[in-house]
Every structure is written in structure tokens, then in C-alpha cells.
Amino acid sequence: MSRDSIGDMLTTIRNGYAAHKQSVLLPHSKLREEVARKLESLGYLSLVEVNNEEKFKRLYLELKYENGEPVLRELRRVSKPGLRLYKGKRKIRKVLSGLGFSILTTPKGILSGQEARKEGVGGEIMCEGW
């Protein structure tokens, strides 16, 4: 049993894209939902829904493709449970010279790297992708 729910979520999304699935289903948590909604707002997921028809809530994610190719090429966990990585507002780097994205947990909520630089806050860098 893993203790890294975000890492498990990112792996499920990567595996879904690798298998050319249209959607993936995950156990729900508030943090997972916020990260998924940020991926949706960045244009890497088509739909994020909370499915509470069963005994436990589930997170339904629709994966996005363009011309049969996954929109998301790479998605990796940066800060891990064994080694947390925090960056100040001036140390948040651009991923692939601005072509990629990073997602951070900040005092102002879950933000992309670009939003965190604009807001002037730092935080824990959860994942990066392109």
C-alpha cells in the first residue's frame, strides 16, 4: 500500500495515456481533486468529475488527445514523501523554458508555477509535466 496518493494519481494518469484509455477512475481526496482540476484548467484533461454514486467517492478523469496523440507527454512527481521540495517565489523555475508546467501547493491553494510567480508565493513543487 502506497502512502503517496498524488504519486499514485500521476502514475494512473500516465498509464491511462500509455494505454490510450479515454478515462481513468481514482479514489477521491480533496488534494487529488484540486490537482486534477488544475490539470484540467491547464488543458491536459478534458473533464474532472466527482462520482459519489458508490459507497466511496471516486474521481473520474477524462484524458485529452489531439490527432490520436496524448496531450500530456511527460508527468513526473517532484516532491516525494521521503524528500519534500519547497521553493521560494524567486526560485520557481520554468519547465522546458515555459512550454511545460509545474503544480505547487501554496498558502493560496494549488497553483501552477506561472500563477505562483505572478501571485508572489512559493510552496511545495508537487509535479511537473509537458
Locate the domains of the chain by residue range.
5-70, 75-129
Q: What is the mean pLDDT of each run of 10 residues along the chain (130 residues)?
A: 88 97 97 98 97 92 97 96 96 95 98 97 98
Per-residue model confidence (pLDDT) at position 43: 96
Supply the pTM of this predicted model. 0.93
Q: How far apart are CA 95 and CA 98, in angstroms?
A: 5
Q: How far is CA 68 from the centre of its chain?
A: 21
Predicted pLDDT of residue 16: 98
The topology (CATH level 3) of 5-70 is Ribosomal Protein S8; Chain: A, domain 1 (3.30.1370)
pLDDT at 2: 67
Query: Rounded to whole angstroms, how far apart are CA atoms 40 and 22?
Result: 15
pLDDT (0 to 100) of residue 53:
85
Q: What is the pLDDT of residue 54?
A: 82
Would you state the CATH architecture of domain 75-129? Answer: 2-Layer Sandwich (3.30)
